[in-house]
Homo-oligomer: A and B are copies of this chain.
């Protein structure tokens, strides 16, 4: 597919749902629209459900629905629900021998963490309904 596909798929789907918030949609419908696979959709939307952004119902006439008003779902909610950490680097396992090196690594990590936070802040300023009406 492409890079950032989870975030992209999630935003696409939610923005789409923001148009008709009460309509129930199946994974298959969503997958068709997004050009992907129902299982992939369920995997991604499952994360959003865990974060309280969506609800799902099994069985006949089941499917997915927004758990909140679209105006109350921000891009940061989505980003965090997916556990994305695009900027911050993962913690380093191997501690460097030199303590000066170690201190420098911590500083780099700290700076990247700050940038990550500012990214989340920026994302929190836009809702999925704003994406739809962009």
Contacts and interface: CB of A to CB of B under 8 A. Distances in A.
A68 interface: no
A74 to B, nearest CB: 12
Interface in A66-117: 75, 85-92, 94, 96, 98, 101, 104-105, 107-108, 110-112, 115
Given A12-B104, A87-B4, A35 B96 contact: yes
Contacts of A11: 108, 111-112
Interface stretch (A20-28, A41-49, A55-63, A126-134): A126-134
Interface of A: 2-5, 7-8, 11-12, 15-16, 33, 35, 75, 85-92, 94, 96, 98, 101, 104-105, 107-108, 110-112, 115, 118-119, 122-123, 126, 131-132, 134
